Amino acid sequence: MVPETRYAKSGGVNIAYQVVGDGPFDLVYVPGWVSHVELAWELPDLARGFERLASISRLILFDKRGTGMSDPVPADEPPTLEQRMDDVRTVMDAVRSERAAIFGASEGGNMSMLFAATYPERTIALCTFGSTAKRIRSPEYPWAPSWEERLEAFDHVEQLWTTGIDWEDVAPSLDPAGLAELSRYYRRCASPGAALALMKMNTQIDVRDVLPTISVPTVVMHRTDDRDANVEEGKYIAAHIPGARFVEFPGADHSWWTEGGEAILDEIEELLTGVRPAPEPNRVLATVLFTDIVESTQRIRELGDHRWTELLARHHAAVRRELERFRGREVDTAGDSFLATFDGPARAIRCTLAIRDAVRGLGLELRAGLHTGECELLGEKVAGIAVHTGARVSALAGPGEVLVSATVRDLVSGSSIVFEDRGEHALKGVGERRIYAVSDA
């Protein structure tokens, strides 16, 4: 029987989910491009895979926003990795799961990596299959498709989604009947516009900077001749996650549940049933925000100490109001400066713009800088190179400017945030970094 489908509200979007099994730990399955929690049970191999996972865990299945039984999203506003990460957290909260292992397949692996780095306290372990770190080829990442190849793939999906795409490259081990069944399943997972929009969003993904910050036990799995994601991409991911184990399987299927899927489940079970309670994390991936008032010394001379103190109190209240609204955490305040952290870079950018606009109403101008990286937790404080980088980025900003590092820009790809390239800058104690200004959100 198909498990009961329930819904959790994530930022106004209903996320469909199911819970199967009652094992000693929770396991969240993050599907790839598109999915459908109820129709998935009609694929015999995938259903058997879910049953096997549910035999060792409390298995949590869900459809990402815009797919399956979850609410649709506008085709011109595809969800970001950050929003999808919020969907996982929301579903975990709905089923009262404090910590879970995460299994991300294909594109679902990108978001799973970001979740494990951002929420190590809620992640027992990480498993990925057929995943990539980025989706466009570059000199330092030569295995991904070129931009021209992705454009061809967009056209292919747009023209053939409604009539039937040939899924042989995804699962070449299947016979014609199996491929026809797989095609019917994918066609019902998303509308043509949603499938294309999500594919375009996925093309912008780049999580390379996230990989070294993942601290949970990790197994990275890939098939040798995967036609959709090169096996070297799996090796790259494993090599850049500290302590990760890479497991290579024979075959060419990109779908994990076909062509010897039991061997993949064996690896997942070995990792998860042998996991011991992890120590409290002392490092976490976070977006660091620095703000300070422009020409504050001059304003003190103009206003005098008493009026400046009153204005500064109103400034602090405005900043804290926006931090609370956007789930930012105030870390430190010194004079007219703020240091805050966020669990998502897009939210951090929008909060910074809201802060800037709020203090303009007080007759003040801010400069601000953001960077995403691994931070060391020291009680309520944060430290590490990511904090220094954020401070250096902020120091480059002019009045009213919000500057971000390339890492921040890469992690919000696919969002509506627009940037201006400000070129390479030598940041003291950090090295060369490309800097971008937020021009529109």
User: pLDDT tens digit string along 77-109?
Assistant: 788 888 889 999 999 999 999 999 999 999 999
User: pLDDT tens digit string along 5-41?
Assistant: 999 999 899 999 999 999 999 999 999 999 999 999 9
Average pLDDT (182-186) is 91
User: How far, in Å, CA of 108 to CA of 88, rounded?
Assistant: 11
166 in a domain, yes or no? yes
**What value does the mean pLDDT of the chain take?**
92
pLDDT for 158: 84
User: How far, in Å, CA of 113 to CA of 210, rounded?
Assistant: 7
When pLDDT is cut at 50, 70 and 90, the band that residue 414 belongs to is confident
Q: What is the pTM of this model?
A: 0.86
Phi, psi at residue 412, to the nearest 5°?
-105, 15
**With contact defined as beta carbons under 8 Å apart, do 251 and 259 qualify?**
yes
Same domain, 335 and 238: no
Average pLDDT (278-303) is 88
Helices 192-203 and 147-160 meet at what angle, rounded to 10? 170
- Domain span at residue 383 reads 283-440
User: pLDDT tens digit string along 221-269?
Assistant: 999 999 999 999 999 999 999 999 999 999 999 999 998 889 999 999 9
Same domain, 336 and 266: no
**With contact defined as beta carbons under 8 Å apart, do 345 and 411 qualify?**
yes
pLDDT for 380: 87
When pLDDT is cut at 50, 70 and 90, the band that residue 194 belongs to is confident
Query: How far from chain centre, in Å, is Cα 14?
Result: 19
278 in a domain, yes or no? no
When pLDDT is cut at 50, 70 and 90, the band that residue 168 belongs to is confident
Same domain, 355 and 268: no
210 in a domain, yes or no? yes
224 in a domain, yes or no? yes
Q: What is the CATH number of the domain that holds 400?
A: 3.30.70.1230
Same domain, 31 and 136: yes
Nearest to 287 by CA among 427, 393, 359, 183: 393
pLDDT for 82: 87
What three-state secondary structure class fits 5?
A: coil
User: How far, in Å, CA of 264 to CA of 270, rounded?
Assistant: 10
Within 8 A by CB and 6+ apart from 257, the residues are 43, 45, 46, 48, 49
Using CA of residue 18, residue 182, residue 111, residue 369, what is the dihedral sign? negative
Same domain, 191 and 63: yes
Position 441 pLDDT exceeds 70: no
Within 8 A by CB and 6+ apart from 21, the residues are 53, 54, 55, 56, 57, 58, 59
302 in a domain, yes or no? yes
Position 61 pLDDT exceeds 90: yes
Same domain, 97 and 179: yes
Position 164 pLDDT exceeds 80: no
Query: In the sheet where 218-223 sits, what is the strand order?
Result: 6-10, 13-20, 58-62, 26-30, 100-105, 123-129, 218-223, 245-249
Query: Considering only 240-249, 315-324, 414-423, which range has the smallest mean pLDDT?
Result: 414-423
Among the candidates 230, 245, 273, a domain finishes at 273
Among the candidates 273, 299, 334, a domain finishes at 273
Average pLDDT (203-232) is 95
What the block records as the tokens of 325 is 């609204």
What three-state secondary structure class fits 22?
A: coil
Phi, psi at residue 153, to the nearest 5°?
-65, -40
Same domain, 96 and 218: yes
Q: How far is CA 245 from CA 121, 140, 149, 259, 401, in A?
A: 21, 22, 31, 21, 43
Average pLDDT (276-289) is 79
When pLDDT is cut at 50, 70 and 90, the band that residue 315 belongs to is very high
125 in a domain, yes or no? yes
Phi, psi at residue 263, to the nearest 5°?
-65, -35
1 in a domain, yes or no? no
Same domain, 81 and 189: yes
Same domain, 260 and 288: no
Give how many domains the chain has, as a whole number: 2
Q: What is the CATH number of the domain that holds 234?
A: 3.40.50.1820
When pLDDT is cut at 50, 70 and 90, the band that residue 360 belongs to is very high
User: How far, in Å, CA of 395 to CA of 369, rounded?
Assistant: 7
Same domain, 43 and 103: yes
Position 278 pLDDT exceeds 80: no
Among the candidates 217, 246, 273, a domain finishes at 273
DSSP for residue 33:
S
308 in a domain, yes or no? yes
Same domain, 113 and 205: yes
% pLDDT > 70, the chain: 98
pLDDT for 279: 62
Same domain, 149 and 115: yes
User: pLDDT tens digit string along 320-353?
Assistant: 999 999 999 999 999 899 999 999 999 999 999 9
